[in-house]
Amino acid sequence: MPANRSSVVARSAALVAAVLATGTIGYRVIEGAGTLDALYMTAITLTTVGYREVFPLGTAGRLFTMLLALGGIGVIFVIATNLARAMLDTDVRRLIGLRRDMGMIKSLNRHIVVCGYGRTGRAVVEVLAEHGAPFAVVELDTQRCRALEDRHAAVVQGDATQEAVLRAAGVDRAATMIMCLADDAHNVYAILLARQLNPRITIIARAVDDGAEERLRLAGADRVLNPYRVGGTRLAITALKPTVVDFVEASLMGSSVELELAEVVVHPSSELAGKTLVGAEVRQRFGVIVVALKRGDRTLFNPGPDERIEAGDVLVALGPIPALERIEQATQ
């Protein structure tokens, strides 16, 4: 139950308890009735059910009963009004939030669509938010959707295996889709749909069960990760090569060290196109190290200084953030 509704219910219950206590004490003091009889008389008076009096009332008792009945009607009116207002306010805010989210999604282009907001999806969203990347989330669970709405994230509530839901998330114009659903069969079906809606989209999928990687690739996933295998590998490497892991975490996972790995696409108009790495003076001019060069389906790791840079190449560069920004400008 939303917090505002819970607070209204709590206040209403406290008000009812206060009126019941007032009536019970009043009948005990004025008419000398027992506690149970006084409480019963208070209840039938407040609810105006019209049952007979359980004890004779004097003039003072009758006046008190009339006041209690009027007060009970007022209490019921106040409680009903507060509850209705709380429900209406919540629904209106949710409607405004949904409209805002749909407006956010419609304005997105070349964004990332995250399907599923479980433990893996939540971790993905945290990293995307930290890096300021545009994204939208597709999630079926209502509570998880509300959590995303609270953090002002664009979310579509629905089944990711439905075409209308993927269209609402902007899959047809998205750059990447990350599949984090809890079932491999649902991941496969959603990948097939997304590939039909946007043949150029890059799809990254999480494999839930062992052996599901090949099925996900056949469905159209560009990359498939098994979190258990990745986690196990990282634990082993941490034990074998802790310094390497510290360096990777510093450059990729975020730290006080402003060092990152970045993919830099070389455009035909770039001043670097046609030059070798040493001729372009990449290290001297920009202060970065090119650790890999991808050309089509071929990736060259640790390219030599005489390796020629061609238009369309993707340079994997390591260096401080300002240096990476400078080389990105030079490759435009």
List, for residues 108-134, the tens digit of each pLDDT value. 889 999 999 999 999 999 999 988 899
Half-sphere exposure of 285 (CA within 13 A, CB side): 16
Q: How far apart are CA 170 and CA 192, in angstroms?
A: 16
Cβ neighbourhood burial of 70 (10 Å; 0-12, 13-18, 19+): exposed
**Sign of the dihedral defined by the CA atoms of residues 246, 247, 251, 252, in that order:** negative
In this structure, the chain runs to a length of 332
pLDDT over 90, % of the chain: 25
Question: Average of pLDDT values for 3-10?
Answer: 65
Q: How far apart are CA 49 and CA 43, in angstroms?
A: 9
pLDDT band at 99 (very low <50, low <70, confident <90, very high): very low
| Domains identified in the chain and CATH numbers | 3-100 (1.10.287.70), 108-230 (3.40.50.720), 257-330 (3.30.70.1450)
